[in-house]
């Protein structure tokens, strides 16, 4: 079932890139991100309330708060950088290069989470990185 959710997340992310690129066409990228963040807050907290999980906030450990707040700050930094890249470049080039984050996730999960990888994961990461670089360079050559 996780595969369905992951594929739907990928499709949603692709649509977000296209809508964001169109949305910031005549707008500062930071302002565009700030506007986009408003419904993120409203929807995420609405889901927490609807699911009856609001009381869990008071039971979170300090360590959990720290990790999630740092992750939230880095999410904002990542989004601001992505929006700026979209403002300056083509979505078809920015997005594949930005998705090289998948390779970084694999490397960081090995180092910090002690996850094990096999040759298929390593090969997949190499292919993802090569594909992203190839798409970026191919797009640059056509200008």
User: What does the block give as tokens for 2?
Assistant: 């996780």
pLDDT tens digits, one per residue of 35-52: 999 999 999 999 999 999
Cα radius of gyration (the chain) = 18
pTM of the predicted protein model: 0.84
pLDDT of residue 137: 85
* Average pLDDT, integer, range 98-103: 92
Are the C-beta atoms of residues 132 and 93 closer than 8 Å to each other?
no
Average pLDDT of every residue of the chain: 93
pLDDT of residue 140: 64
pLDDT of residue 141: 62
pLDDT of residue 39: 96
């Amino acid at each position: 079932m996780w595969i369905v959710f992951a594929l739907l997340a990928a499709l949603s992310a692709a649509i977000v890139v296209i809508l964001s690129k169109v949305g910031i066409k005549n707008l500062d990228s930071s302002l565009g991100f700030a506007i986009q963040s408003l419904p993120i807050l409203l929807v995420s907290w609405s889901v927490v309330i609807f699911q009856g999980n609001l009381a869990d906030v008071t039971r979170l450990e300090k360590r959990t708060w720290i990790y999630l707040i740092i992750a939230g700050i880095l999410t904002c930094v990542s989004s601001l950088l992505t929006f700026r890249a979209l403002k300056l470049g083509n979505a078809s080039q920015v997005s594949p290069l930005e998705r090289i984050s998948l390779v970084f996730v694999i490397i960081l999960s090995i180092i910090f989470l002690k996850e094990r990888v096999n040759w298929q994961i390593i090969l997949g990461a190499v292919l993802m990185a090569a594909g992203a670089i190839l798409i970026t360079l191919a797009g640059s050559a056509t200008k």
